[in-house]
Chain A
Amino acid sequence: MADTEATTGPGTAADPVTRWRPVAGRSLAGARKASRSTRAWRVGSSAAIVTAVVLAVLIVPPLVALDEQAVHLADKLLPPSAAHPFGTDDVGRDLLVRCVYGLRVSLLVGVVAAVVATVIGTAVGALAASAGGWVDRVVMRLVDVFSSVPHLLLGIFIVAMFRPGVWPVVISVALTHWLSTARIVRAEVLSLRSRPYVDAAISGGASRWRVTVRHLLPGVLPQAGLAAVLMVPHAIWHESALSFLGLGLPTHQASLGTLVQGARSSLLAGDWWPTLFPGLFIIVPTLAIAGLAGAWRDRINPRRRSELML
């Protein structure tokens, strides 16, 4: 048969001179490593920015006794300097302090709204999927109807019903953002529900409630959590947009949206800093949060193969 050649020695097992080569020495693996280091850089910088932002909004206002509302008309519209790194606005308030306070409000609105929206979305999605039948059809058609109205328009409608303030904005953002989560959770539950292990659980006597709580919800939580994190930047933008339109927070209260709005007139006069810095404060932290969420998504990707390919 294949006796073309005989080995030169018996393949003894405890071969002490086994020379192991890492597979990673290959060129593609090298390329992969490069992409991995850029990924690490992205995650690292995102994490650093998010940490800095959280520290800034949590620690700076209580510790540093700066009054964001302090008006110094003599110092109005100063360009960035050592005393005022971000410059001052048209009534002489320090823009760095106002940006930190604004970020604090925007972040609060974003996080609370995202959490509320995720809870609503997960509950509705799970209910629709596990109830099935007409409940599912009615609920999901309602979701479709709400989705067909532009978010911002719906949000404006909701804030218009209340006096301006933080909570109407939270409610407005939360009520317009749970729709996509409900869809994601429903799809995920439906796909999990057809798995044989759910059949096995039913055959093992599990109630509808037990199947949902023990087997279905734990399966969708990573997805729902990811949706929640991705929603935070979205909610911040939404808040900013509402405030920019003058419908969100009262104009004297610093939020990133009101800051940009208040700076419009000075932009026309050629003063760039009152819009630039609040704008950067909207863009950079939201990108950082999205970056972290992306890394998380890569981690929970179910298609990821287990380390051992047995």
Chain B
Amino acid sequence: MLELRSLTAGYDRRDPVVRDVSLTVAPGESVGLLGPSGCGKSTLARVAALLHRPDRGQVVVDGEPVHGWRHRAPRDRRTAFGVVFQQPRLSADPRLSLAQIVAEPLRATGRAADVPERVPELARTVGLGADLLGRRPHEVSDGQLQRACLARALVLRPRWLICDEMTAMLDASTTAALVAVVEEYRAASGAGLLAVGHDRVLLERWCERTVEWRELTGATGATGGSAAHPAAE
């Protein structure tokens, strides 16, 4: 169980972007979180992946409350989450080859011995050819790079997947391909998914359950939902 309880988070304590949000993802469940740009859903995703410390509230993973975020979280806690971000260009270290990017979590957790087996296997899963694996990020397209980023998120076999606008920069075919990879992995591993995005059609097709950002923020949600967002200045 991944439980987000009354979370308040942001980058300025006086003006948090996430106010009092609660959300629960069951093991094996896929939850789509729909919200307009800039509403704070990406911040919530980072809190859920233990990458951003909330100002208030609690994250409970499998019954255990989380006390540390980022490096302060125990390593096996952190690696229970696979994270994919919106912009592959910013999510990949520009100096590493795609193969190194995928292998990095294995090396960081002292499992370098698994690299020769796991990296080609995952490259096949996400549809990256051997010639692409040797390239660096600036030599491949956004779609190819995002495939590598998804492979990196899966390489440690996480129990939870957090996909933050994973497909926003991608064309329809690559989107369908990456979603298929995620679903295949979840079917095999029973991992839970929190997919954050703004594309209702996509999330409703992808996830078992879709929740709206404004439902989560409840009474305190000042924006009143997507209809009122920047449109209404």
Give the distance to chain B from A77, nearest Cβ to Cβ, in Å: 58
Contact present for A196 and B91 (CB under 8 Å): yes
Interface check A67, CB cutoff 8 A: no
Assembled-state Cα–Cα distance A219/B92 (Å): 13
Contact present for A196 and B109 (CB under 8 Å): no
Assembled-state Cα–Cα distance A218/B94 (Å): 10
Contact present for B95 and A203 (CB under 8 Å): no
Chain B hits for A203, CB < 8 A: 49-51, 78-79, 81-83, 105, 153
Chain B contact-residue range equals 20 to 34
Contact present for B104 and A204 (CB under 8 Å): yes
Residues of A within 8 A of B (CB): 195-197, 199-208, 210-211, 214-215, 218-219, 306, 310
Contact present for A202 and B152 (CB under 8 Å): no
Contact present for A197 and B81 (CB under 8 Å): no
Contact present for A201 and B90 (CB under 8 Å): no
Contact present for B92 and A197 (CB under 8 Å): yes
Chain A hits for B37, CB < 8 A: none
Chain A hits for B46, CB < 8 A: 199
Assembled-state Cα–Cα distance A204/B100 (Å): 13
Assembled-state Cα–Cα distance A219/B93 (Å): 9
Contact present for B109 and A205 (CB under 8 Å): yes
Enumerate B106-165 residues with CB–CB distance to A below 8 Å. 108-109, 138, 141, 149, 152-153, 155-156
Chain B residue with Cβ nearest A305: B138
Contact present for A201 and B83 (CB under 8 Å): no
Contact present for A206 and B108 (CB under 8 Å): yes
A-B contact count (CB 8 A): 72
Residues of B within 8 A of A (CB): 46, 49-51, 70-71, 75, 78-79, 81-83, 85, 87, 90-93, 95, 104-105, 108-109, 138, 141, 149, 152-153, 155-156
Give the distance to chain A from B121, nearest Cβ to Cβ, in Å: 17
Give the distance to chain A from B51, nearest Cβ to Cβ, in Å: 5
Chain A hits for B149, CB < 8 A: 200
Assembled-state Cα–Cα distance A201/B156 (Å): 12
Assembled-state Cα–Cα distance A204/B46 (Å): 14
Assembled-state Cα–Cα distance A310/B143 (Å): 12
Chain A hits for B93, CB < 8 A: 197, 201, 214-215
A sample of 6 inter-chain contacts (CB < 8 A) reads A195-B90, A196-B90, A202-B78, A203-B51, A206-B105, A310-B141
A200-B152, A203-B79 are known contacts. Are A219 and B95 too (CB-CB below 8 A)?
A: yes
Assembled-state Cα–Cα distance A306/B222 (Å): 43
Q: For A205, give its contact among B87, B91, B95, B105 (CB under 8 Å).
A: B105
Chain A residue with Cβ nearest B73: A202
Q: 8 shortest A-B CB distances, which residue pairs?
A: A204-B105, A206-B108, A205-B109, A196-B91, A205-B79, A196-B85, A203-B83, A205-B108
